[in-house]
Amino acid sequence: MSSTDRLRVVVLISGRGSNFIAIHQAIAEQRIPADIVAVISNKADAAGLDYARQAGIATHVIEHQAFPDRASFDREMLRVIDSYQPGLVVLAGFMRILSGEFVRHYRGRLINIHPSLLPRFPGLNTHQRAIDAGEQEHGATVHFVEEEVDSGEIIIQARVPVLASDTEETLAARVLEQEHKIYPAAVKWIAEGKKTPKPTME
């Protein structure tokens, strides 16, 4: 497969970047016909940026504090992302809510991973909330991004048991292990043209 057939992926992170690294490693092992062409962080100290630099991937820091409002931050993000002409934009622990304009611009080629079995527990603190709710099962979801937070067509989910002895940390670790499997799997399906979003009624 020539590089022109390969999916161009831009990854957005805010921190650790372990999902980005899992996707990058799957690509490096030639399991996904894609290339990560840029990693963008809204935080200068995101650990995932160091990995990206060492891997020779272009990086950008676009700090939201430098912009007067969400719309102007998103416009700058959009400008930088579009300069890479991506076929897919991957949110991997990107901790900013994106504007409707941004989401509409990338609709169908913007995906996110969320640490719960959506539609259960959208939002933050999902692991503690799953424990507090007495759930027996918890997990993670990869989905196409729609304007409403943590909504959008589900691509793949992974389930893990919630154990009586679980703390937020032990449950998060069990879920994260699965995230590192399902996110590369989702990117692979999209790169191979096996998964496209269902058409929506406008």
Contact residues: ligand GRF, CB under 6 A: 13, 15-19, 92-93, 113-115, 140, 176, 179
CB of 50 to ligand GRF, least distance (A): 13
Buried/exposed code over 81-97 (b: 16+ C-beta within 10 A; e: otherwise): beebebbbbbbbbbebe
Closest CA to 182 of 160, 166, 197: 160
CB of 85 to ligand GRF, least distance (A): 24
Tally of residues, the chain: 202
Q: Please tell me which residue in 60, 64, 105, 114 is annotated as part of the active site.
A: 114
Q: End-to-end CA distance of the chain, in Å?
A: 35
CB of 193 to ligand GRF, least distance (A): 25
Q: Examine the residue annotation and report whether 64 is marked as an active-site residue of this protein.
A: no
The type of residue at 64 is: H
Angle in degrees, CA 13, 16, 22, rounded to 5: 80
Nearest CB to ligand GRF, comparing residues 72 and 97: 97
Residue 149 exposure: Cα atoms within 13 Å on the Cβ side: 10
Nearest CB to ligand GRF, comparing residues 100 and 123: 123
Q: How many CB atoms lie within 10 A of CB 169?
A: 10
Nearest CB to ligand GRF, comparing residues 75 and 129: 129
Nearest CB to ligand GRF, comparing residues 85 and 120: 120
CB of 197 to ligand GRF, least distance (A): 20
Q: Any idea which residues carry the catalytic annotation? A: 114
